[in-house]
Amino acid sequence: MKNSHPLEHVRNIGIAAHIDAGKTTLTERILFYTGALYKIGEVHDGDAHMDYMAEEQNHGITITSALTKAQWQDHLIQIIDTPGHVDFTIEVERSMRVLDGCVIVLDGVRGVEPQTETVWRQRSKFNLPALFFINKIDRAGADFDHVMTTIGKRLGAKPLPVTVPLVEKNAVIHLIDRCLIQFDGEHGEQVTREPCEPALWEQFADYRESLLLGIAECDEAFADQVLAGEEPEPEKIWSALRTATLKGDVCPCFGGSALRNLGVQPLIDGVIKLLPSPLERPASSAFLPDGSITPIAMVNNQPLVALAFKVQMWEGRRHVFARIYRGQLKPGDTVRFSKPDGKVITEHVARIFDVDAAKKSRLDLASAGDIVLLAGLRHASTGDTLCHPDHPVLLERIDTREPVLSLAVEPASSSQEEKFLEVMEKLQEEDPTLLFGSDPDTGQNLLRGMGELHLQIIIERLEREYNLEVRTGKPAVALRETITQAAEATLLFQPPVELSRKEQLKAQVTVAVAPLARGTGITTSLVPQLLPEGSQLTPQQQAALDQGVKFALGGGPLEGAPLQDLSVTIRQVELFGPLSTVEALTSATARALRKALESASPALLQPIMKAEVVVPEENLGAVLGDLQSRHALIQDTERTIESATIHCEVALASLLGYTTELRSMTQGRGQFSTLFERFDIF
């Protein structure tokens, strides 16, 4: 579908949520009602339009973000359906980076869940205006008011109701238009609007009042009208609500059930009326080669600026998803981009595609505001800024996260070793949170990822997509190391002449280390007292000290794991004239720092997960006992009539294989989700 719409009629939105909240089901309905699909696909049947990967269909979850488009009321909606599982959070992060607004889907029973909080933080990072769709409102235990409360309590947002579900009538009450909207037909495609009867409206008057007062807190003129007892016209309410939404002051909420075809069309109206066009978003900022910052206006008549936000192997060939922020792009154009190491690369864009989930169609031109697929770029990767060769700029890169779980993996046959290494390189290009390399101690090939499911999906893809049979070991948790007390060490480096290339080397360095708070990282400082007094370090000698620190921090003293949360201070450097070469200073610093680390009571840090476990009420005692045996720190337990939700912190190592055990304890009815919290001593 070629984007022929003016930018003010374009909405680039993402649909995001906790796993199993109904994102993909909602997207399917949006596509059906807008005419982009003629048939609704269901996730539970494995035929959802947006879940096109075999692994997505087999597991019944979204694994990779998928792009599609739909038209509604002379507007074009470009939609990215994102995964809900924490293992694939990079897909949400890089999607949020290129969107203008989002719809966050909540389970009508559970409300805000752990991954919802992660999604909200990612949304907040890019200041995206957001709507909430409170889904599954037809389920037993669903509570629209409770979910609104959790939005305010756990996300710190200000939810305002717009449509309130009336499940018994298969309808919603529209609080702005003051009407009853019913959904009939096989798939809820027949929408009937009628004025709300006074007796029925009286039941929802409090919702209307909370909506108006919520808007009034953000708009003085609107507040004067409401407080004067006047009844605002719907157009004024929409306008004031839109302004508050775009500022991020409020989040409009729509209730319904995507699976039961209830309340989706009013949400689509809300996307058009309340979320911004690309022109209404603050201009992106980019760095010029001299380090200055320049705004990037979303226009077609200036040099190209685009962001590559995802790499995907499509039909065995490398493709790059990109968002055009300025200018236009045609097949055959040359683009320039800089890698994180400063290397500049120039390549030609061979083809440009419009994308609809698993389908692509060629385009002759991509313009500002478009999200497109590019072929022919062999070296562009996630976060690279594609720009005109004569007008280099650099947009902010996309953050990635460090893997927390590793798996020993090797091809079943030595004859497939070369192909195996080639495929692993391709998969790492697709997924920045996936790392592959050999363990320096054991020589094993280790595949590192964000969790058990993440690694499982990769192994399945190796076998299905690339016909590679592999052998795997047991998952191992990625550890970190730190220190628990301050220490200082002095080391005189003076190796025998025969070990120092027939020249005498000599240098003495004193290094102090101290622990820092969790999540602080590593700080280094150079405040040396130089001996002999009055001498000064040359730039080469300072670089040698820095290099020595870098060498020593390459791995901790316990298991060689990466170090974090400590400070390093070089307190004293003793020079011995020409004997204190760069090599001597580097070695003395590295050894002094290693000695200080060994004396500072080093400790292992494990990934600590924030977990939420939902179980039937009758199984609560057994599950709590099991979690306590895993040394989980129970923070809260919420109970409803039928189920209980346990909030806790627990080491990732204690949760390996937990899914199977939880199902066994709860006869298959329990489920849990985790979110990486921090590395800590456990």
Amino acid code (one letter) for 103? V
Same domain for 117 and 203, yes or no, is: yes
Q: Pick from 432, 463, 478: which residue ends a domain?
A: 478
**Domain-located, residue 2:** no
Q: Pick from 274, 292, 313: which residue ends a domain?
A: 274
CA 18 to chain centre: 12
> Residue 510: its pLDDT value, please?
93
- Each residue of 105-134: pLDDT tens digit? 999 988 988 788 888 988 898 899 999 999
CATH code of the domain containing 303: 2.40.30.10
Separation CA 397–CA 342 (nearest Å): 13
**Domain-located, residue 463:** yes
Same domain for 449 and 346, yes or no, is: no
Q: Which helix (H) or strand (E) is 547 found in, with range?
A: helix 539-552
Same domain for 318 and 208, yes or no, is: no
Separation CA 174–CA 18 (nearest Å): 26
Average pLDDT over residues 647-665: 87
Residue 23 has pLDDT above 80, yes or no: yes
Residues with Cβ within 8 Å of residue 226, at least 6 apart in sequence: 212, 213, 215, 216, 232
Confidence of residue 497 (pLDDT cuts 50, 70, 90): low
**Domain-located, residue 89:** yes
**Domain-located, residue 1:** no
Residue 275 has pLDDT above 90, yes or no: yes
Within a 10 A sphere around the Cβ of 635, how many other Cβ atoms? 11
Q: Pick from 357, 372, 395: which residue ends a domain?
A: 395
Same domain for 58 and 200, yes or no, is: yes
Amino acid code (one letter) for 328? Q
Which pair of tokens denotes residue 4?
Answer: 């022929």
Same domain for 261 and 291, yes or no, is: no
- Each residue of 24-72: pLDDT tens digit? 889 889 999 998 777 665 554 444 544 445 555 555 555 667 788 889 9
- Each residue of 301-314: pLDDT tens digit? 999 999 998 888 87
CATH code of the domain containing 208: 3.40.50.300
User: Which range among 260-269, 339-348, 637-646 has the greatest average pLDDT?
Assistant: 260-269
Average pLDDT over residues 411-435: 87
**Domain-located, residue 46:** yes
> Residue 40: its pLDDT value, please?
65
CATH code of the domain containing 530: 3.30.230.10
Separation CA 265–CA 278 (nearest Å): 22
What residues are paired with 530 via a beta bridge?
573
Same domain for 623 and 610, yes or no, is: yes
Average pLDDT over residues 469-496: 89
Which pair of tokens denotes residue 421?
Answer: 């290494």
**Hey, is 498 helix, strand or coil?**
helix
Confidence of residue 673 (pLDDT cuts 50, 70, 90): confident
Same domain for 264 and 294, yes or no, is: no
Domain hosting 453: range is 405-478
Confidence of residue 186 (pLDDT cuts 50, 70, 90): confident
Percentage of the chain beyond pLDDT 70 is 93
CA 646 to chain centre: 24
Confidence of residue 1 (pLDDT cuts 50, 70, 90): very low
Q: Which helix (H) or strand (E) is 215 found in, with range?
A: helix 205-216
Separation CA 13–CA 126 (nearest Å): 13
**Domain-located, residue 164:** yes
Percentage of the chain beyond pLDDT 90 is 43
For residues 573 and 1, the model is more confident at: 573
**Domain-located, residue 400:** no
Q: Which contacts qualify for 417-425: CB closer than 8 Å, 24 or more apart?
A: 419/466, 419/468, 420/462, 420/468, 420/470, 423/462, 423/466, 423/468
Confidence of residue 360 (pLDDT cuts 50, 70, 90): confident
- Each residue of 373-405: pLDDT tens digit? 999 998 888 889 999 999 999 998 887 777 878
> Residue 17: its pLDDT value, please?
87
> Residue 600: its pLDDT value, please?
94
Same domain for 567 and 618, yes or no, is: no
Same domain for 89 and 203, yes or no, is: yes
Same domain for 327 and 474, yes or no, is: no
> Residue 585: its pLDDT value, please?
92
> Residue 330: its pLDDT value, please?
94
Confidence of residue 515 (pLDDT cuts 50, 70, 90): very high
Measure the CA dihedral 627/631/636/639, to 10°.
10
Integer CA distances (angstroms), 20 to 41, 155, 284, 652, in order: 16, 19, 33, 22
Amino acid code (one letter) for 626? D
> Residue 51: its pLDDT value, please?
47
- Each residue of 542-552: pLDDT tens digit? 899 999 999 99
> Residue 86: its pLDDT value, please?
66
CATH code of the domain containing 431: 3.30.70.870
> Residue 502: its pLDDT value, please?
56
DSSP for 252-305 reads EEEE-BTTTTBSHHHHHHHHHHHSPPGGGSPPEEEE-TTS-EEEE---SSS--E
Q: How many domains does the chain have?
A: 5
Residue 609 has pLDDT above 60, yes or no: yes
Average pLDDT over residues 452-460: 85
Which pair of tokens denotes residue 167?
Answer: 């499940």
Q: Which residue has the tokens 């990769």?
A: 458
**Domain-located, residue 631:** yes
Same domain for 148 and 211, yes or no, is: yes
Same domain for 644 and 570, yes or no, is: no
CATH code of the domain containing 610: 3.30.70.240
